[in-house]
Structure 1
Amino acid sequence: MDDCPVPLDVLGTLYRGDAEVVEAVLADIPSGSRARLAAYLYGKSHLHALGLRVASACTEADLVRVAGTAGAVLFAQSRAAPRAPEARMPGQRRISLAGSRSVA
C-alpha cells in the first residue's frame, strides 16, 4: 500500500484492534496524518468502516483540508448514528451465492 499515510504495522493494529487499542493508536498519530488515513481508508471499499472510525477521531477542519468537500461528508458520516440493517419483506427469501451450484 504505497500511498497509505501510516506504516503497515500501524494499519494492521488499527484493523485488528478493539476500540480501546484503536483509540490509543490514533492518539499517537498526528492530526494531519490521521485525516489522510481516514480519507485513504474510506476510499477502500473493504476498509470503509475503519475509515469512518478513524474519521471520528479527526476534526472537520483537518478532514476538509485533506479531502475538501469529501472530507466534510466523511466528518458528518463519522458522527451519524449507524444505520440499522434493512428489514426484509415478509416471505422474501435471502439470497446467498455461497450455496449456489451449477446444474448441468
Structure 2
Amino acid sequence: MTYTGLTAPDDLDTSCPVPLEMLGRIYRADAEAISELVGALPERTRARLAVYLYGRSHTFALGVWIAATCEGSTLRRVAGPIGDALYDLSRQTDMLPAHQSSRSATPKRISLGGPQLRA
C-alpha cells in the first residue's frame, strides 16, 4: 500500500480503527464536534484513525487534523515512516486552519449518479 509516495510497512493494519457509525459522525461533524469525538479516543486509536484517513484522498485533511492531536512517537509506532511524515505534516501551521474552516461548513454531498439533467 502506498500513501503519498511512502510505502506502508507490511504489518500496518489498514482497517478502520473505529466503528463505521462513529467514522460517519466524525466525517460529518464540525471542528468542535470532531474534537469532542476524537478526544474521547485513546491516543493509539486516534493515531490509527489519522493514518486510516490520511491514506484516502477525500479524508486526507481530516487525517492530518486528527494526527495533530497525537504524539510523534505514537504515530511512528503505529505507521513507521508514514507516521513520521504524518506527524511532520500535521505540525505545519498552514495545513490545519484550512481544514478547520472547511470542516465547519456543511459537508459536501457526494453523488455517484453523475450530473442530473432537467427536462
> What's the TM-score, normalizing by structure 2?
0.65
Structure 1 position 22 matched with structure 2 position 41 = no
Matches within 5 A, 1:1-104: 3-82=15-94
Q: Larger Rg: 1 or 2? A: 1
Alpha-carbon distance between aligned partners in 2 of 1:60 and 1:20, rounded to the nearest angstrom: 23
Alpha-carbon distance between aligned partners in 1 of 2:16 and 2:79, rounded to the nearest angstrom: 15
Between the aligned residues of both structures, percent identity stands at 46
* CA deviations over 1:40-84 (Å, ceiling 9, x no partner): 11011111011111101111111000011110110110110226x
Alpha-carbon distance between aligned partners in 2 of 1:60 and 1:33, rounded to the nearest angstrom: 14
Alpha-carbon distance between aligned partners in 1 of 2:27 and 2:94, rounded to the nearest angstrom: 19
How many matched pairs?
82
Q: Deviation at 1:8?
A: 1.0
Amino acid across the alignment from 2:63: G
Q: CA RMSD in A?
A: 1.4
Moved over 2 A (4+): none
Alpha-carbon distance between aligned partners in 2 of 1:58 and 1:78, rounded to the nearest angstrom: 9
- Greater relative contact order structure (CA < 8 Å, 6+ sep): 2
> What's the TM-score, normalizing by structure 1?
0.74
